[in-house]
Structure 1
Amino acid sequence: MPPDDAPFRIGFVTGATPDKWARTWRERRRDALELVPLEETDQEVGVRDGSLSMVLARLPVDRTGLHCIPLYEERPVVVAGHDHVVAATDPHEELRLADLADEQLVLPHRSGWTPSAPQLSWPAMSERDAVATVAAGTGIVLLPQSVARLHHRKDVVQRFVADLPGTTIGLVWRVDDEDERIQAFIGVVRGRTARSSRG
């Protein structure tokens, strides 16, 4: 068990939205709750080394030694500049990967999908930088809708992609962590009332 004054720290990957659960926690508990933003590449590190009690992670994660509760699905979108052909499509219609086969993908997608057109060699860049690149009129980027919203600009558009696999946000914590605050937070996430038990 952690000492009574140990901070209860929850990491959250870019695009995840822990605010409503943190608000409920603060209404019910005196224990301080600290939210820690994380890059997707770092989402397992803090929970494994004990610096974070739990993480809202983008699945999949290596489940060895970890518990995981899938929480919600994220829909994938394509982001392109205002002058791109994607912008000319109906905003209410979904695109398909075949519609994007001739494009330049400026950031690798976690699914491994790439357009069939020969690809340029792009430097490593953040999601924010990738959106800025497509805003300048070069290529496209495929992102979870939550991440695209976070980095939205007036000079880009986004459209849903019907046949691209979505992603799942899940709550992850160590199997050997017996901190009672973890179960309390799971209760908040699952919508248990302050008076309900774990049953």
Structure 2
Amino acid sequence: MTGSEVSPSFRLAYVPGVTPAKWVRIWNERLPDVPLTLVAVSAAEAFDVLRGGGADAGFVRLPVDRTDLSAIPLYTETTVVMIPKDHVVTAADEVSAEDLADEIVLHPLDDTLDWEHRPGRPANERPATTADAVELVAAGVGVLVVPQSLARLHHRRDLTYRPVSDAPASRIALSWPQEETTDLVEDFIGIVRGRTVNSSRGRRPSPAPAQPKGKHPDTGGARRKPAAGTSAGKSPRSGAGAKGGKRGKPRRRS
């Protein structure tokens, strides 16, 4: 089998917190002959995976370097603070960064939030990962501010979270290499944007074959024959032996 005959496939990268199941299901319904492979990547390595050909497209966290990558922003996440269930912060429905001023706010090395001024007090050491930071929160060492999807991903029965009103937000985007905007990438863009299967930018169904000239489309390609006992172009009401004109009334005899 030559390279040009290799069966097509699609590799989709995604960062922690993103759940691509809905889009994968639609892909499998529309393109059952093209297998989709999921590639789990960290937020930090996602762009190198795309540039290196490890995935055709990926769900990433903004910002994206538009020099060589394209991106379509999809949604913005709520930012929350993860805390033990018995923490004083749980008394409020929402908190501000100022409310965390006296807390040790953990700052993992894989943090995805772009802070101008981080709230609270820093820990002596930065946890290597968000998962490590969650373990420290459970141990009562500090609190952790993360996008809500990561709080859900690292859910624990002894922890909860509250929205932080003035924290920076994290945005999710679909990204892919600009020079590799293939037909399959366009198909996936259409799915993510909610286009129908027959939309002008989506994959179109095969067109119906053209009808040969002189063929009637409703009769399988053959012209309809005139009904028995009639001539083409003449009304079937005309009498077979009529000489033209209407038959007159018989004359009364004198």
**TM-score (norm: length of structure 2):** 0.72
Partner of 1:8: 10
2:106 is the alignment partner of 1:103: no
- Pick from 125, 136, 141: which aligns with 2:139? 136
Q: Distance in 2 between matches of 1:144 and 1:125?
A: 17
Once the two structures are TM-superposed, the CA of residue 193 in structure 1 deviates from its matched residue by: 1.0
Q: Which amino acid letter does the alignment assign opposite residue 123 of structure 2?
A: L
Give the 5 Å matches for 1:1-199: 3=4, 4-29=6-31, 30-87=33-90, 89-90=91-92, 93-108=93-108, 109=111, 110-112=113-115, 113-117=117-121, 119-198=122-201
Once the two structures are TM-superposed, the CA of residue 116 in structure 1 deviates from its matched residue by: 4.8
SS of alignment partner, residue 157 of structure 2: coil
SS of alignment partner, residue 125 of structure 1: coil
- Which digits, 9 at most, give the CA deviation of each residue in 1:58-96, with x for residues without a partner? 111222111100001111000011232223x23xx2100
Q: Which amino acid letter does the alignment assign opposite residue 80 of structure 2?
A: V
Q: Distance in 2 between matches of 1:136 and 1:82?
A: 12
- Which digits, 9 at most, give the CA deviation of each residue in 1:118-137, with x for residues without a partner? x3322432111211110111
SS of alignment partner, residue 40 of structure 1: coil
RMSD: 1.7
Q: Which amino acid letter does the alignment assign opposite residue 46 of structure 2?
A: Q
Larger Rg: 2
Contact 1:56 1:169 in 2 (8 A): yes
Contact 1:10 1:36 in 2 (8 A): yes
- Which digits, 9 at most, give the CA deviation of each residue in 1:143-166, with x for residues without a partner? 100110010101111000011121
- Which digits, 9 at most, give the CA deviation of each residue in 1:35-58, with x for residues without a partner? 111111111011101111001001
Q: Distance in 2 between matches of 1:102 and 1:115?
A: 9
Q: Distance in 2 between matches of 1:76 and 1:49?
A: 31
Q: Which amino acid letter does the alignment assign opposite residue 40 of structure 1?
A: A
Contact 2:8 2:34 in 1 (8 A): no
Contact 2:81 2:144 in 1 (8 A): yes
SS of alignment partner, residue 12 of structure 2: strand
Structure 1 residues 129 and 116, CA gap change in structure 2 (3 angstroms): closer
SS of alignment partner, residue 45 of structure 1: helix
**Which gives a bigger RCO, structure 1 or 2 (Cα 8 Å, sep 6+)?**
1
Q: Which amino acid letter does the alignment assign opposite residue 115 of structure 1?
A: P
- Identity among equivalent pairs (%): 42
**TM-score (norm: length of structure 1):** 0.91
- Which digits, 9 at most, give the CA deviation of each residue in 1:99-122, with x for residues without a partner? 0011111225532332354x3322
Q: Which amino acid letter does the alignment assign opposite residue 171 of structure 2?
A: T
- Aligned residue pairs total 194
Q: Distance in 2 between matches of 1:65 and 1:79?
A: 36
